Structure 1
Amino acid sequence: MVAGGEFKVTVSKTEVVAAVLPLQEHWLPLSNLDLLLPPVDVSVFFCFHKPSLQSMTFASMVAILKKALAQTLVSYYALAGEVVLNPVGEPELLCNNRGVDFVEAFANVELSELNLYNPDESIQGKLVPNKKNGVLSIQATELNCSGVVVACTFDHRIADAYSINMFLVSWAELAQSKPMSLLPSFRRSVLNPRRPGCIDPALDDMYVPLSPSPSPKEPVGATHDDHLISRIYYVTKDQLNELQSLASANGCRRTKLESFSAFLWKMIAKCGATNSERTSKLGIVVDGRSRLSQGDSEKSRLMGAYFGNVLSIPIGGQKIIELEEKPLSFVANQVHAFLENAVTQHHFLALIDWVEAHRPQPALAKIYINGTDDGPAFVVSSGQRFPVSRVDFGWGKPAFGSYHFPWGGDAGYVMPMPSPLGNGDWVVYLHLLKKQLQVIEREASNVFRPLTADYLNLMK
C-alpha cells in the first residue's frame, strides 16, 4: 500500500454550480442551535469503483453530478448561499444563489492504494476540497483505475450531519432521475425560544458564553511532539457485541454506542498524564429531532425534514483513576447517566432558551475549548444514520464513505459509522492525540483494526 503522501492531485477545472431555477434573494436567520456551532468546516467523501458501463466516463459522471446538483439546490437553497454577519455580529444566511464551488481533479493513484487508515495524508487537502467561499464545496476526483472519489466540505453552522445526509441522498436520487424522497424544511419557528424562557442551570456546565473569543490552547497531555491526528479503523460486529455484553450488568442493557464510548473512555484515560486524580471528560452528540417532537405527529414530520443544527453535547466527567480501575459496566453506567438528562424534550427547549438569554454573545460547548487544567477530553458523534449505501449517483453504491472532521477544537473527536459492507461492523473515524492513538493501537488492537483495501474489497 502506498503512503498517502506519494500521489499528486491535479485540478483540471473549477466552476460554480448554482440552482437551475432563479431564486428570490432573501435572508435566512440561523436558529439558536445553529449559533452554538463555531465556524468550522466538515468534510465527507465517497469512493467508487470504476463503473461497469464502458460508456460511463469521468466526464459523463461529472456532467450527471453537476446537473443533479443544480436541481437539488432548488430545494436545498441554503447550501447555495453565503454566511454574512448581521449588525450585531451574529452569522446569518444570505440565500442569493451564489452557487457551490465544484472542482474536477485527477489523482495518480489506484483506489486500492489509497491509505484510508491515514486520512490526514490521503484525504485532507487532496481528495476533499478546501471550502473558500459560500456554504458548500464539492470535488470529484478521477483515479488511475477510473474509480472516482466524490467529496463535499460544508459549513457546520448551516448543517449538521443529519441535514447533509438528507442533501446527499436527495442529490443521488435526482442524479438517477428519481423524485426526492424527502423535501427539506427551513422553518426556523420550530426552534423558537419560549416566552418566557425557562433555563436549566445545568446547561452552564455544558456551554459557555465567549467574551472575548478564546485563544487556542494546547490539548491536554500534548507535548511538543504530540498533536491531534486522524485515523480510520473498523470494529467488527462480534467485538461490538462483546463490548455491549461487558458493559451491561445487573439487568441494565447498554446500547452499542454507550458501550463503545465507555470502552474508548477507559482507553483514553490511560493517556491521562501523571495525575490520576484529574477528571477526564466525554461528550456525546445528541440529535434533538425526535426529542423535540415527542408525542406530536405533525412536529415529528417537520423535525424529520428540518435542515439545520439540532444538536446538543452533554458532558460527563470522571476521575482518571476510576476510569482505569472500574469495570466497563461502571463506566457505561456513567455514560448512560449523563446522557439520560439530555435525551429529553425539556433539555432541548431549555438549551434554545439558554442561547436566547445570552444573545448576541456567542457561545460554545465547553468541551470544544477544554481547559488545560482538565484531563483528556473527547466527543463521540454517532454516525449510524450515515447513508453510504444510498449515495448512488447511477454508477453503483460507494465502496467506502466517511466523514473527515479535524474540527479544530482542543478535545478529540470520534465518529462511528456503519460499515459499507452491511455486515454489522462499524467504521470509526478518530481524531485524537497521537499518543492516545498509540495506546489504543497497542492495547486494543483486537478492537480497533486499521482500515485496509482488503477489508473494503477495493482490490478488484
Structure 2
Amino acid sequence: MHADGGAGREFVVKSGKREVVAAPLPMQGHLLPLSNLDLLLPPLDVGVFFCYANPTTTASQRLDYGSMVGVLKAALAQALVSYYALAGEVVQNSASEPELLCNNWEVDFIEAFADVELRHLNLYNPDDTVEGKLVPTKKRGVLAVQCGGIVVACTFDHRIVEAYSVNMFMVFWVETARSAAPISLPPSFRRSLLNLRHRLCFDPSLDRMYIPVFALYPPPKHKLQSACSNGSKRTKLESFSAFLWRMVAESSSVVDNDDNKTMSMMGIGEDDKPTPMSSYFGNVLSVPFREKRPREVVEKPLSWVVDVVHKFVERAATKEHFVDPIDWVEEHRPVLALERIFCKPDSEEEEEGSMVLVVSSGQRFPVTEMDFGWGKLVLGSYHFPWGGKAEYVMPMPNPLSNGDWVVYLHLPRSQVAFIESHASTIFKLLTPHHLNLL
C-alpha cells in the first residue's frame, strides 16, 4: 500500500518501554516434544500485525494509550495460562532435535512509536516497512509482542505454530481482553492426535514431497471463479491460485523453452485443520504440489490449470493425508527434514529458470474478530520474511468484508510488474482508498 500520488513516506520506529509478560499462575516446568509435523519446519519466524484507527482521538471511545496497553498486557497474561506453550523456549534434546520447554519463561512485550499515519505508510516492500518495524524482531522464546497505539503485532516461532494456531491464539487473546462470553475452547496439546502407526508405512511419493536437510545442496475479477470452473465446482482459492500460476509462468523468460528440464512448480498450503484436530495447537501443515511445463500452464485452458490445482489440494483435506508424513519423518529421524517445495535442491537436471510458487491460504485470518475493545481492524496481515527459493503468496480477507482480498506477494520485481500490467482488473495496488482511510 502507498499513499495516493506518492511512493509512501519513510519512517523510523523508536522502541520505548520493554517488559516481559508471563502467566499469573505458578507453572510446573515440563518438556513438550515437537510433533513429527513440527519437525518439518525450519527455525524461522512469522509475523502478524493489526492496525486500528487511533482510539485516543475518538471522543466516543475515551481511551488513552496507557489504558490500551494495560488491557493488552493483562489479557495476554491470562491467555498464556491456556496457551502456556507460547511462554516457553525451544531447547535441544540429547538427539539434537528441538523440543519445547514449557517453563513460563515470559513473553517480550515492547512499546514502540513511529511518527507516521497509516494512510502514508508504504507497504509495497514489506521487507523494508514491516520487518523489524511494524512487527517485532523476536530475540528469544516462542512469541514476541509489540504495540504502538494503533498497531498490535506479534512474531511467532513457526516450529511451534502455523497460521491456524496463530489465529486460535489471537482470537482467544481478544476474547479475554473483552471478557467475551463464551471464551473459545482452550487449545489442545495432545501429541497423541499425531501418533505413529504401529508399523511405519508411507507412500513412496512422499520422497518427492519432503527432503532430509542433509540432502540440500485475465478475466474480470468477479468472473474469475466461474471462468476457471468449466462447469465443476472450484473454490475461490483454487481459482486464484491457478490464475496466479499462469501469470507467474507467463512472466518467465523460459516459457517458450521446449526443454523438458524447465519446470513450473505450484504448491498450496491450506490454513484449516481436519475436524478431529480443530482445537489442536501446533503444526498440521502440508504443502502438496505439482510440476508442469511453463508452456502447458500458459497455453492450456485456465479450467485445465485449476483442475490440476484442485486435484492436489483435494488430497490434503483429510486427517489421513497427514498420517504418511508422520511416519516418513520417523523413518528419517534424527535427521531433520523440510517440505521439498521450499528448498528444491540444485541438480544437473534442473534447468535454470525453473520456478516454484507457493500459495499459503490465509482465509481464516480473523479480521472481523480482532477487536480488543477499541474498534474494528483497519488493516491486518501476516508477514513472512521469506528467504527461500520459492516465490511466496498469501491471500487474506479484507477487513471491510466486501469479498476482496488483501494479498501478500513475495515475488521478483519483474513478476510483480508483469502481474500489475497484465492482470490489473484482478490485482490492484492497496491504497488508503481501499481501506476507507480517505
TM-score by length of 2: 0.92
Q: Check if 1:450 corresponds to 2:438.
A: no
* 2-structure distance, mates of 1:168, 1:288: 16
Secondary structure of 1:125's counterpart equals coil
Selected match of 2:268 from 262, 284, 307:
284
Query: Are 2:271 and 2:361, in contact at CA under 8 Å, matched by a contact in 1?
Result: no
Q: Which stretch of the first structure deviates more once superposed, 330-339 or 126-135? A: 330-339
Alpha-carbon offset, residue 5 of structure 1: 5.7
What residue is the counterpart of 1:398 in the other structure?
377
What residue is the counterpart of 1:319 in the other structure?
293
Secondary structure of 1:310's counterpart equals coil
Query: Are 1:402 and 1:417, in contact at CA under 8 Å, matched by a contact in 2?
Result: yes
Query: Are 1:168 and 1:391, in contact at CA under 8 Å, matched by a contact in 2?
Result: yes
Q: Which stretch of the first structure deviates more once superposed, 333-342 or 56-65? A: 333-342
What residue is the counterpart of 1:297 in the other structure?
none
Alignment deviations for residues 98-139 of structure 1 (CA, whole Å, 9 cap, x no partner): 111111011000122112343233222211101110000111
Query: Are 1:116 and 1:452, in contact at CA under 8 Å, matched by a contact in 2?
Result: no
Alpha-carbon offset, residue 88 of structure 1: 0.7
Q: Check if 1:347 corresponds to 2:321.
A: yes
* 1-structure distance, mates of 2:250, 2:273: 35
Give the residue type in structure 1 aligned to 2:136: P
Alpha-carbon offset, residue 54 of structure 1: 5.5
Give the residue type in structure 1 aligned to 2:365: F
Selected match of 1:257 from 237, 240, 260:
237
Selected match of 2:335 from 346, 357, 361:
361
What residue is the counterpart of 2:53 in the other structure?
49
Question: Per the alignment, do residues 353 and 7 of structure 1 end up closer, same or farther by CA in structure 2, a change over 3 Å counting?
Answer: same
Query: Are 1:378 and 1:412, in contact at CA under 8 Å, matched by a contact in 2?
Result: yes
Q: Which stretch of the first structure deviates more once superposed, 274-283 or 358-367? A: 274-283
Q: Which stretch of the first structure deviates more once superposed, 339-348 or 313-322? A: 339-348
Give the residue type in structure 1 aligned to 2:236: K
* 1-structure distance, mates of 2:272, 2:13: 39
Secondary structure of 2:28's counterpart equals coil
Q: Check if 1:26 corresponds to 2:7.
A: no
What residue is the counterpart of 2:15 in the other structure?
11
Alignment deviations for residues 60-114 of structure 1 (CA, whole Å, 9 cap, x no partner): 1111100100010010000000001111111100001111111101100012211
Question: Per the alignment, do residues 56 and 455 of structure 1 end up closer, same or farther by CA in structure 2, a change over 3 Å counting?
Answer: same
Unaligned runs of 5+ in 2: none
What residue is the counterpart of 2:134 in the other structure?
127
Q: Check if 1:63 corresponds to 2:70.
A: yes
Question: Per the alignment, do residues 78 and 330 of structure 1 end up closer, same or farther by CA in structure 2, a change over 3 Å counting?
Answer: same
The number of equivalent residue pairs is 421
Q: How does 1:225-240 map to 2 (within 5 A)?
A: 239-240=220-221
Q: How does 1:92-131 map to 2 (within 5 A)?
A: 92-131=99-138
Query: Are 1:288 and 1:312, in contact at CA under 8 Å, matched by a contact in 2?
Result: no
Question: Per the alignment, do residues 240 and 163 of structure 1 end up closer, same or farther by CA in structure 2, a change over 3 Å counting?
Answer: farther
Query: Are 1:41 and 1:407, in contact at CA under 8 Å, matched by a contact in 2?
Result: no
Alignment deviations for residues 21-52 of structure 1 (CA, whole Å, 9 cap, x no partner): 11110000011111111111100000000213
Query: Are 1:27 and 1:92, in contact at CA under 8 Å, matched by a contact in 2?
Result: yes
Alpha-carbon offset, residue 333 of structure 1: 1.1
Query: Are 2:271 and 2:364, in contact at CA under 8 Å, matched by a contact in 1?
Result: no
* 2-structure distance, mates of 1:81, 1:239: 48
Alpha-carbon offset, residue 20 of structure 1: 1.4
Secondary structure of 2:240's counterpart equals helix
* 2-structure distance, mates of 1:13, 1:403: 24
What residue is the counterpart of 2:410 in the other structure?
431
* 1-structure distance, mates of 2:221, 2:85: 38
Secondary structure of 2:308's counterpart equals helix
Alpha-carbon offset, residue 288 of structure 1: 6.7
Give the residue type in structure 2 aligned to 1:448: F
Alpha-carbon offset, residue 182 of structure 1: 1.8
Alpha-carbon offset, residue 338 of structure 1: 2.2
Q: How does 1:112-261 map to 2 (within 5 A)?
A: 112-142=119-149, 148-179=150-181, 180-211=183-214, 214=216, 239-249=220-230, 251-261=231-241
* 1-structure distance, mates of 2:340, 2:373: 43
Secondary structure of 1:289's counterpart equals coil
* 1-structure distance, mates of 2:99, 2:411: 32
Unaligned runs of 5+ in 1: 143-147, 216-234, 294-299
Query: Are 1:80 and 1:100, in contact at CA under 8 Å, matched by a contact in 2?
Result: yes
* 1-structure distance, mates of 2:123, 2:309: 30
Query: Are 2:221 and 2:425, in contact at CA under 8 Å, matched by a contact in 1?
Result: no
Query: Are 2:61 and 2:374, in contact at CA under 8 Å, matched by a contact in 1?
Result: no
Secondary structure of 1:45's counterpart equals strand
* 2-structure distance, mates of 1:335, 1:418: 21
* 2-structure distance, mates of 1:384, 1:26: 34
Query: Are 2:272 and 2:364, in contact at CA under 8 Å, matched by a contact in 1?
Result: no
Q: Check if 1:307 corresponds to 2:281.
A: yes
Query: Are 1:27 and 1:94, in contact at CA under 8 Å, matched by a contact in 2?
Result: yes
Q: Check if 1:422 corresponds to 2:422.
A: no
Alpha-carbon offset, residue 381 of structure 1: 1.1
